[in-house]
A and B are shown apart, each in its own frame.
Chain A
Amino acid sequence: MKKILFIEDEAALQKTFKEILTQEGFEVISALDGKTGLELAEKEMPDLILLDLILPKMHGFEVLRKLKEKEETKEIPVIVLTNLERLEDVEKAIELGATTYLVKAHYTLEEVVEKIKKAFK
């Protein structure tokens, strides 16, 4: 079973994604802040990380940078899922090594799930 780590401070979103991704056959682990997210990534070694950007304790960009710096975690694909849509944020995320950048308001739930499945292929 593929393991997905979802780093997102909004509990309602965590719940929705956990439900749908579990139904799709994934194992979902959650972190509600950036620091815990980074620790969990190192401990659990997920197959994919879903990352919000505006997070308590550690900003999403910082989490992404640290993930890509470490030998053990740098190969894990990271999908950024955020409400920030400024071009410079998108560019920065891609430059730091994010696989995909999704603006929450632009996608339906099923579309996001499709993107996640695609990232595994």
Chain B
Amino acid sequence: MRWKKILSELNFINRCKRYNLPLWQCPHFLFLIIGLVDIFLIFTSYALATRYIEDPATAALIVLLVAAILFILDFIIEKSVENLAEANLMKSEFISIASHQLRAPLSSARWALELLLSGRLGKIEEKQRDYFKILKDNLDEMLNLLSDLLIVSKIETGRLPCEKKEFSLVKLTQKLINEYQSLAESLKVKVFLESENDFNVFADPSQIKMAIENLLDNAIRYTKEGGEVKIKILQKDNQIYFEIKDTGVGIPKEEQKYIFQKFFRSSNILQLQPKGTGLGLYIAKSLVERSGGKIGFFSQEGKGSTFWFTLPTKK
């Protein structure tokens, strides 16, 4: 397994193909060439020094020449890495523009549908209502996906300013629990908050709100009927510790290392809840870390998961 990994790392042709770049522009290939040139340089310097010591000018000239080649190669590497970064940026920008453009017609369609569903335009039959509801649920899901994609593209292009200030983490959490009450009730899940104090943190409130929303939404959705979600907020050393524990499906052990990756959804979740973007935990992690915090979890498949994060208390 390990050997395979090392071999695939060395297979630069495949890696270059993945970036869709010509060989001479691919950083991995150029690094290899530089390595070879380096070894060559060492040997020739040795050979030259021993043989032509009476003619240092020639030796110096050759070394200079090799150094110049190295310099040019270095320059090309820098350029190609830059190109990659540029392409990545363009991708994120494209997602951002596409999301914005898609949002306008989707919001418009959703509002028109809401007007229909409200009965203001006339009575709707029960069967019709069911199908309008399917349309509305799908539109809502698309809008949620677009919001998530927009945040991810903002994180990746560095266009999400982090505006830190002091606020009560307990009050924010309580407010969010109230907002999620109807979802929790519909899934028959109880949510509790335990905290001895009104702990203040120094972080970006809107980003932390988003992080908690994602953790809370997951905890409620992936808990079985009649289950519980317990949130604890306490002080640990100089930091505030937030913990959210559910009695949900848990994360299979072999998949735990992927949990914060973009678009990752664990196999047991896919069976339970086919809908979802797999962006929530990636967003939560990025946002907590931007405010100077840490995030982690422990989980046992079939028993539940506990996600935690810490945040600083002052500047």
Contacts and interface: CB of A to CB of B under 8 A. Distances in A.
B121 A83 contact: no
Contacts of B147: 105
B146 A105 contact: yes
Interface in B105-163: 106-109, 111-112, 114-115, 118, 120-121, 143, 146-147, 150, 161
Nearest to A87: B161
A110 B114 contact: yes
Contacts, number: 44
Q: Identify whether the interface residues of B are mostly helix, strand, loop, or mixed.
A: helix
Given A10-B108, A83-B100, A19 B114 contact: no
Nearest to A108: B114
Contacts of B161: 87
Interface residues of B, number: 19
Contact of A83 (B107, B109, B120): B107
Contacts of A83: 100, 103-104, 107
Contacts of B106: 105
Given A87-B161, A109-B111, A110-B114, A20 B120 contact: yes
A1 interface: no
Q: Which of B109, B115, B121 has the most CB of A within 10 A?
A: B115
A104 B197 CA distance: 37
Given A20-B118, A20-B120, 13 more contacts: A10-B104, A12-B108, A13-B111, A15-B112, A83-B100, A83-B104, A83-B107, A84-B100, A105-B103, A105-B107, A105-B143, A105-B146, A112-B111
Interface of B: 100, 103-104, 106-109, 111-112, 114-115, 118, 120-121, 143, 146-147, 150, 161
Interface of A: 10, 12-13, 15-16, 19-20, 23, 83-85, 87, 104-105, 108-110, 112
